[in-house]
Amino acid sequence: MTVYVVDTSAILANFVGEEMVAPVRVYDELLKYKDEIPDYLYTFYEERLRFFEPSEESLGKVIEAAKRTGDYHRLSETDLHLIALAMDFNGVVVTNDLSVQNVCKVLNVRYMSYLSKEISKVFEWEIVCKSCGKVLDKKYDVCPYCGGEVGYRIKRSRKI
């Protein structure tokens, strides 16, 4: 049986799978949106969705891969835990988040998108100043060299 590892947005979009798990952090996020989930669906999720913490080993691999691809600063801790939990369960990540899909692809973790197309390329990102063009070693609020806006650009891409 396929284990679906769901993120908060999948639940809010009423995704339903036979066996579903999620990181504990998703539970915390769901409490904020309880009023937006229909009662019957909320009851269904309470009965069918199980919450877990990922293993430290899997989480370490995910963080390493996210840093390699440049997605690390684009992902939340919940996203990192989502991918790690999928590794622990050999499950399918259910998400529309392209950065999550990118890291999943690099780690050979199965994923599916429930509302949009899945990624067609794997990207490596780099952090750059939009004003002076300097490549930065980490995410800053403003460029430490010129004070300009900091953003991301594609360093490399490959078709999948």
All domains in the chain, ordered by first residue: 3-112 (3.40.50.1010), 121-159 (2.20.28)
Q: pLDDT value at position 119? A: 67
pLDDT > 90: percent of the chain: 48
Decide if pLDDT at 24 tops 90. Answer: yes
Which residue, 74, 95, 73, is CA-closest to 20? 95
Mean pLDDT of the chain: 89
Bridge partners of 157, per DSSP, are 123
pLDDT of residue 33: 80
pLDDT for 41 beyond 90: no
Residues 12-21 pLDDT 10s: 888 888 899 9
pLDDT for the residue numbered 89: 98
- Which range of 2-11, 70-79, 83-92, 139-148 scores highest in mean pLDDT? It is 83-92
Q: Is the pTM of this model over 0.85?
A: no
| DSSP-assigned letters across all residues of 80-145 | HHHHHHHHHHT-EEE---HHHHHHHHHHT--EE-SSSPPPSEEEEEEEEETTT--EESS--SB-TT
pLDDT tier, 23 (very low <50, low <70, confident <90, very high otherwise): very high
* Residue 112, pLDDT score: 94
Q: Give residue-wise pLDDT tens across range 66-122.
A: 999 999 999 999 999 999 999 999 999 999 898 999 999 999 999 998 876 766 677
The 10 Å Cβ neighbour count of residue 19 is 14
